[in-house]
Amino acid sequence: MTERKDDRLWGGRFEREPNAQFDAFQRSFAFDRRLLPYEIAVDRAWAKALEPIGIFAPAEVKQALAALDKIAKRAKTDPGWLESFGATAEDVHHFVEKALVEELGPLGWKLHTGRSRNELVATDFRLFVIDAAAQSQQALESLLDAFLVQAKANRNLPMAGMTHMQHAQPILLSHFLLAHAEAFARDITRLQHASASADACPMGSGALAGNSFAIDRSTVARELGFSRITANSLDAVSDRDFALDYLFALSGIATHLSRLAEDFVLFSSQEFSYVILPDEYSTGSSLMPQKKNPDAWELIRGKTGRITGALLGLLTTLKGLPTSYQRDLQEDKEALFAAHDQVADMVAVAAGAIASTKFNASRLAAAAANPALLATEAADYLVHKRIPFRQAHDIIGKVLREAEKQNVAWTALPLKTLKKISPAFEADFADGLSVDAALASKKVRGGTAPESVRGAIADLEERLNKKAKKTGAKP
């Protein structure tokens, strides 16, 4: 039997050391050290809160705050100390208490009065998610700016819009780019929801039942930048909905990035040749000298599985847990940290690749000029002649079938032939059968008409400028 000799936060009850393999298994400092800045911020707020209730004298508060500042500075500037001192730390809470005791002696132990690691980690983690969501939002705004620049540069370039991966109707390339931008704008809304979900301070909840020392929870919350306190101590230590919300937002971003990646992988193929891959975001083949591969987009598409996996993993961890804190919740952070980092890289690479991509204007315009894409315009022409749309649809289908029989473009059929199919056809029919006319007709808000797209570009630019003014960032 080995007697306990260490300084763990839970020592008195135990006579013997933990099994070495289990001890390594249950330690979390290797990853929760990322919460160190938040842990120190919470410790500072708690030290101040202990003074009004008589636990800390004013001089002791000053000592504690000075020691915490010293620890924070050393952790930033002395990675060797962080590694060596952290080697014996069970978790980030243990690390800071060890460091405080080294600086202050027994006074360092007083800081833990009335609180639990259960509430500490919940508070640290919430603060991390709030900051992480803000970072992700800023990254998405840079991506949106890249879409905006490309949409402006290719404002009037037509392309073949598709459904079911089949050419459908002419649209503007700028309209296509703005479609992706709208998806990422919705992701920003989800990030904001995740931040709001995390914006409640658990401190004062104790291990599960609350605090016995009349701590002013609202003051602690304000000190840490929270807008409110959690409503129920039992829920506060076990709630990880905010983490799920953030992972859901990240999964949405990754899914939209994957769809964007799929489009650009296809568009860069020789079969499409819609885009010219930038050298800076492509790789070659070790065997085939001619190859330029869309690896940036393929890796973005591939990494999406990690992000959705992190969300599913946390959902699975939370499923079936009893109410209150359980040690299973230690598994909430590693995957979220990794997902945050991966999405940050994915968004940055996507923004760079979008900004650097050149579009093959002649190829895009040629695809848009396929007469088959104007079939809907032909049906609309008949509707304007007072023919019900379902009948108009059928009539144009017969026109297409006749053109196939004659092995000619349906737009080349003479008026005499068209009139045999329907007397509603007039000499003005051919006037509307052009890409420009088809585009111009879609002038509803949100449509692909040039004037509608100009409005959409202006709207996106205004939204980005508002966000930039709010955050102080460059538009």
Annotation says 227 is catalytic: no
Q: Is residue 168 classed as helix, strand or coil in its secondary structure?
A: strand
Name the residue among 21, 394, 49, 63 with its Cα closest to residue 204. Answer: 49
Question: What's the rounded Cα separation, in Å, for the pair 314 and 247?
Answer: 9
CA distance 128 to 337: 9
DSSP string computed for 277-293:
--GGG-B--SS-TT--B
In Å, what is the CA distance from 87 to each residue of 26, 39, 82, 83, 350? 13, 18, 8, 6, 38
Q: How far apart are CA 370 and CA 372, in angstroms?
A: 5
Q: Give dist(CA 80, CA 356) in Å, integer.
A: 40
Cα distance between residue 223 and residue 61, in whole Å: 15
Tokens of 189: 């809304």
Q: Which of 84, 227, 285, 362 is catalytic?
A: 285
SS3 115: coil
Using CA atoms in the order 39, 45, 48, 52, what is the torsion angle rounded to 10 degrees? -120
Comparing C-alpha atoms, which of 192, 176, 199 is closest to residue 141?
192
From residue 72, give the alpha-carbon distance in Å to each of 36, 44, 62, 75, 403.
8, 11, 15, 5, 77
What tokens appear for 26 in the block?
């249950």
164 is catalytic: yes
Catalytic (active-site) positions: 164, 285
